[in-house]
Amino acid sequence: MPDPLLVEAEPYPYGFDPARTALLIIDMQRDFVEPGGFGETLGNDVGLLQEVVPPLRDVLTATRKAGVPVIHTREGHLPDLSDCPPSKLNRGAPSLRIGDPGPKGRILIRGEYGHDIIDELAPAEGELVIDKPGKGSFHATTLDESLRAMDVRSLVVTGVTTEVCVHTTVREANDRGYECLVLSDCVGSYFPEFQRVGLEMIAAQGGIFGWVATSAGYLKALQ
């Protein structure tokens, strides 16, 4: 086995073998990142999520160049909403509910313009795109099977939102035996406080869910 690459991270350096690693980009969809989608209908300022795009774009470019696989996820539902539990459909007080017509098509419905990934981070040919009905990327998807088939044990985790789909995914991955490195400037929240505390929670207690590093640290290790 080759020596692992080392990333300066909290709570201590993260070692990874690029041959057994994947970059996971969670839910960088128009519905969360751009005005007129699900995120905004929940009352959120989507501007905060847009700060993630430039560093994540650099990470995506370098990761592709290094030959490390990239996996994208999208949160959303079938047009008949048969995969959306009533608990999710009825939760909160959104101005538009999942499935309602919005300016970017039906809110969070697969195949609609708003449901798709933003142009800046569009999946390349051959990259895996996992459609998920929940917040976690493992729940009701084939992600675990795909990662095992690729012999991946280590995940570099990016995307939105830090305390919702990123956290749920990291917790699911951790329980399944994956090691997760979360890139602090490549994950975003509508709430600055949740961003800070969400990242702290991952690396606390000796790395209870995983590690946290900046994209600069990851890029340096990858060179």
Which residues are identified as catalytic? 27, 132, 165
Strand-pairing partners, residue 87, are: none
Residue with smaller CB distance to ligand TIU, 134 or 217: 134
Q: What is the DSSP letter of 199?
A: H
Q: Nearest Cα to 112, choosing from 74, 158, 161, 72?
A: 74
Strand-pairing partners, residue 23, are: 70, 156
Residue with smaller CB distance to ligand TIU, 75 or 185: 75
CB 80, min distance to ligand TIU, A? 21
Chain residues that interact with ligand TIU, rule: CB under 6 A = 27, 32, 42, 75, 135, 160-161, 164-165, 190
CB 57, min distance to ligand TIU, A? 18
Residue 106 CB contacts under 8 Å (≥ 6 apart), including other chains: 79, 99, 100, 112, 114
CB 135, min distance to ligand TIU, A? 6
Dihedral sign computed on CA atoms, order 141, 146, 151, 157: negative
Question: For residues 115 and 108, is the Cβ–Cβ distance under 8 A?
Answer: yes
Residue with smaller CB distance to ligand TIU, 27 or 221: 27
